[in-house]
Structure formats: C-alpha cells, structure tokens
A and B are shown apart, each in its own frame.
Chain A
Amino acid sequence: QPKGEGSAEATPVKNAEESENPLANKKVALIMQQNLGTFSAQYIEGVKEQVAAFGGTVTVFASEGDLAKMASNLDAAINQGVDAILIDHGTKEALNQGVEKAIEKGISVVAFDAGVEVEGVVVLEQGDQQMAEMTLEKLKEDANGEGNIVKIWVAGFAPMERRQVAYADFLKENPGIKEIAAFGAATANTALDTQAQMEVILKQYPNEGDITAVWAAWDEFAKGAVRAIEQSGRTDIKVYSIDMSDEDLQMIQNENSPWAASAAVDPTDIGRIQVRYAYQKINGEKPEEHIVLEPIFVDAAKLPENKVTTNELHEFIDGWGASDQGYSKALKELEESLK
C-alpha cells in the first residue's frame, strides 16, 4: 500500500530500547483464526498501534481459518517465550490446552471472542446481544413491525450463539415479523459465497415485497448480501448487520445502498483495548476477567453527504473510535514516557 497524502506517520516511539520502564520492550503474540477482510486488517492495526505505543513488538500468527494450525501457532508462541498472547476467535476445544500451558508459564493471555474458559484469562467480548437487539429494533421500526426477513447466521462461534439468542427472543416477541429463509457459512471466502447464496434467495423471491429485510449476524455476510441486492437492482430490501469495518462503512454510504444500519465496536478499538488488558496483566494488575465492549449503533441516516471513513466517524456517531477502556494509570504513564 502506498503512503496516503497527508498521512501522519504513526508517532515514532522514542527510546523504547533505552527506556527504564519495565513495561517497555515486551513481546506480544497475536494468534488469529482468520485474517481475511478489512475487519481483521483494521483489528491488527489497532493491536500494532497500541503495542508500538507501549514500546513493544507484535508477532502475528495467521492460521488461514485452520484451528489445528491455530493451536500449533499458540504452541509456537509459547515456546518463543512471549510476554503476552492475544487470541482472536477460535474455539475452546482447540485452544484450552494451549492457553492452560501459557498461564502455567506466566504468560498473560487475553482472548477476544474465543470462547476460551480458563482461569486467569481476560476474555473480551462485544456486547453481542445488545448489538443484535439494537439492529433488530431498528429493523422493526423501519418495517413498522411487520415483514418477511432473511437471516444470515452461522453456528459454531460463541459470539454468533449470543447473537442468535437475542434474535430468537426478538422473533418470539414480534409475531408480525417472519423468517422466510436462513442460511450462512463461514468459509475461506465468506463474502463471495454469501453473495452467491443471496442471489439464489433473490431469485426465489422475485417480487417486490417478498423480502422486507435481511438481518446479517456478521458484516462479511452483510457485504455479500448487499452486493447481491445492489446488483439485482432491487430497492425494496434493506440490510441490517452486526460488526462494521471501514469497507462496510463505505458501502453503507453508497447512494441508494440497501444497508440501513449496523451495530459494532470499532475494530481498531478492539485491538487497542485487548493490548491494554494484556499489559495490565503483565504489570501484575488484576483486571476483571470478563470484559464487555460497548457497542455503537451506526445509522445510515446519520451519516453526512460526503463520504467519511471510520477515522472520522466519531464526528458523526457518538463514542466511535474513542474508547478509553482498559487504560490503567501505569499504562498511561508508560505511554507518556515513550512519547
């Protein structure tokens, strides 16, 4: 990628090596299950930025969606003697063993959306139920409480299960809203596969009004669905989703985009917050072990005429990208000392 115009170089960290702060020069490993799509890329950026600000180094372990490789990567990170391990997605069956080993060795572990259940691990999760409720409420409001909806969802991931709970409750409480189709699969190429499937659904329900809205439990799903709808030329279907990367934001801002709303935590923020909790653990602090990240609701109607990126989103959507979650006094001092 090229250097953007007027891009401010990330503030170079001075003197990390000479710094006397015991927290500088830490090695952090980031173990990811899947690393495709803009969400992941932004999340990695958040991690890198925050670790750099703390004077440490990050190693990213990619697993191509392969859980066995993810478990091996976790082992490799432990063997390399890193100070902290950040985990992004994965399942408890695959990871618990490795995480236990890491805790035994005194490595700080912070997991995001991973379903890991081990004593001493800080677990971050997005307010999944809350996000689902926010978007579903908006859907109901736009549809006046009645309509046929398509659900795109996949089982097998802890956050997805939580979103499903909220969705099931919502359907029960709103008999006017019916699910006419449900599908979804997390593949190596989720957005494109979803697009193909959505095209199938659209052909199945070719008439205006057959489908009121699509609810996508993950932004990769939403992307595929939105593209399929846009290309079919249908204007009667709206899309509501959870999670939002910058790419999604651009699509939401397209003229006549069917994408009506999303609820999400800024992916960059997730990365930053995860690093902060890891450093708290390194520093011997005792943070809560179950952290819920506050979701933000992004309404397409609130966005300005000209396009903005997630970097500027905070000007229009309250609370976006400005989270201070996870800072402790020691960390603030560390960051100050390295500037």
Chain B
Amino acid sequence: MSGIQKQFGKVTALTKGEFVLERGEVHALLGANGAGKSTLMKILSGVYQQDDGEIILNGKTVNLRSPKQAKELGIYCVYQEVDTAIVPELSVAENIMLDTFSKPGNIFISNKKLYAEASKALQQLKAGNISVQQPAFMLTLAEKQLILIARALVHSAKLIIFDEPTAPLSVQESTRLFSVINDLKNNNVGCIYISHRLPEVFEISDRITVMREGATTQTFKTTETTENQVIESMLGETFRNELTKIHKSTSEILLEVNGLSDNNKLHDISFTVSKGEIVGVVGLVGAGKTELAKTLFGYNQFNKGSIYLDGKRVQAKHPSDAIKAGMALIPEERRKEGLFVHESLQTNATFPNLRKFSHRFFMNKRAEKEFAKSIVKSLQIKTGSVDTPLVHLSGGNQQKVAIGKWMSLDSKIYLFDEPTKGVDIGAKVDIFKLIREISEKGNGCLYFSCEVHEIIGISDRILVMYDGRIVKEFSHEDATEEKILLYASGGTEEQNERQKYKHSI
C-alpha cells in the first residue's frame, strides 16, 4: 500500500499511509489512538475506498471496492469492534460460515454440514468447547473474536488483519491466540497485527510499522529495535514530558466506596479518592470500568455496598441525583453519551445546569451565550462561534466541550471514562492539562482507561480492575506497564514467576 489518503468529511484520517507485507510474515502496525491504523486496514479490507494512493497485491494493482472483493482475494479482517461483524441472532456455526451465504452456490443449506465445518474450524483454534449451535449473542467478547478468526480460517485466507485482538483477552487467551498466529505464519499466511501492547508486539511480530497522525513514520525489523525507539516514533517528545509531571495530593478523603456490587458485572469494589487526587482505574476492555463509572454516577444500580461523597452518603437512583451530590461524568462514548452533536456548543454547555441559565420557566439566552464564550476561552476550544453545531468540531475539541459542560456546576468529583479515546495528540495534552487543573482546585478525579502508559502518566494512584474486581492498587512510583498488564489480565506476580519457571523447563 502506498500513498494512501482518506478523509471523512472534514476529518482527515490518513495523509500518507504506506505499508508493505511479505508472505508468511507477522507485521505489527503501531500508533497512538486515532493515528489511522484501523482506517488503513479498513481500506485494505475493502470497507472504505481510499481517496488517493494504490494497493498492490502479488505485484498487481488492485481496486478494492467492497469487503466481498477483498475476501475473494484472500484478505480477511478481525475487526476491532467485533460486534459489527457478528449477527447475534444466528448460531455460532452460521456466524463462522457467514461469508458462504452470499456466494452463489447451493440453494439449500444443510445444517449438519454447516455444523461440521464450523466445528472443524474451531478445533483448529483449539476452541472446540464452544457449542456451534448456540446463538452468537451468548458468547463472550473473546469467543466472538475467535469466531471471526475461524471465519477467516474456513476460507483459507492469504492475509489476515488482527485489529487490537488482545484488548479484551486475558493472558492465557492471548497466549492461545499467539500460537494460532504462529500456525498461520507457518502456513504462509500473512498477518497484520495491530496492538497498543508493546511486549506482545515484540514477542510475536517480524517487523513493526509505526503510524502517527495519519501517516506512516517508520518501519523497523523487530529484532533490530527497542521499545523506546518505537515509542518515540509513535508519540513524539512533548507528549512524554507532559505525562511524567508528578502531582502532590492532599490526604483528606473525598469519595469513599465500600463493597460495591451489582449482581452482574461488579464485585465487592472498595476504594477512596482524596481531595485533589487523580486516581487511575485501569483494566482490559470489558473489565467493567465503564460499568463502575456509570454505577457511581447512578446510571446503573448496585445492590450491595455504599458510596460516600464528602462524608455524605450518596444514593443515586438516577444521574440527576449524582449530579446534585456533586459528581460529573465524562462518558466514554462521547458522541453517543456525552454530547448532542447536532446542537450548538452553547446549547451543550449549559444543558446540565439549565436552571442557572433561565428565569422562571424561560431561558435566558444572553446568559447562555456568555457562559459558552467563557468556557471557549478558558478551555481553549477551537471553534468558529458558540453557535456552531458540534459535528463540525474536531474530536479533541468535542471532548473539551464534554468536560466544559460541567463547569457551571462546581462538581466535587469528576469521572473521566477514556477521555483520550480518538483524540489527537495536541488535544490530548490539553485534556491532560485540564484534568490536572481540575484536581489542583481540590476536586477529585477518577480516570478510567485501558491505555496503561497514559494511566501511569497522569495518575497519583492506580487501581487495576479485572473481571469486575479491583485486584491491585499501585502508587504512582510502583507502577510499571508490565505489572499492570499482568494484574489486568487476571494474573498475580507469584503466578507469573511460576509460569516463567515452567517455560524455562
């Protein structure tokens, strides 16, 4: 692939995507969030068409107009958002064989044959324990991912793209995946591997290509490079500096959570947050971070445990109660949960506290405008005017609005759920600064993220979540990326020692 460009409306996702994959090679693709990795791969798998640039496969220029075409050429993709490729109502077998249905062939379908072929593919993945007859909505995230890999196997793919496959996987599940990838490699299948976890990238890949801000920066041979080199190529200097600043906290307890459980995802969660402290909560996708944030905020209900804020018990039946008590949530899905993207900045900014901007029943539009202007200024939001609908703002600026909308409320504690997701580097820095400023005013911050290095950079204290539990607490000084990942995927240090031991025998 060379010179690939792609724009979505006003967002430029790719400026210069370059990528070369050899037969039977595992090639890792790295880059910060929003660097354009997924977009490049979606172009390769026919989901999007590039605006410019060309793709050469086996020496021939190909024009990939649809996923179907890409698949016919043997290019398969295990998408980052697995649910986009799974049909929940259909059985596991049907999901594995999904691509066969749209191909011309027999009119009738024999279930027996379907089940047999699907089982075979699963067995190849050492996942024969998944029943092929159950509907796909019963599966866990990891199992769904296996289905997608099985789908590629069934069609003897020549090239498989793995887009962050290990994000939801535990250490054991990851190990199994790696052995599958190795098998594939031995069968001369090319693999593209996207991940944010450097250790595993170094373990599995032959070469590494790094992207930054929509462009390919560098390609390394894995054996000839170091993690630091790659990180530098990925992030750039300013960003790292920002993250290493350390912040002092007071010891006066602001938020206290005791034995919080719901009957579903959260189990016996206890922790505290002091005034002016930033507490990071880290865990894999699906570990329950979002669940915890929303439960604290009254969006989900818990059935055991208690929450105290500033010494007062909070019993939030609805987010409105939590807001009254002094909480603010910047949710993970900014566009879906945090903002009204078709409304103006002004309308968004005043919404959580309409009472302040109205006289009796009627809205005071002048006060609204003044407030909107004030946050544009203080958060340095780049926008044409306060009347511009938010869809026209960049992701980072949208995120600033999502934070700024709480500014009229004087909340005591802010819950940030993956606030840097899909935000460009510059804005990321601004957002970190903003979080710092908020904490410096004596407010508490809870920072939920699966980006381990970011967590380490910003937090005063780190809680690791695994499967709905808090399994470990680190101080800022003790935390390392490896230790966190280990706990986050359900391991403990002793266990790890033993495993290493076993390996060496």
Is A in direct contact with B (CB under 8 Å) within the complex? no
Residues of B at under 8 Å CB distance from A?
none
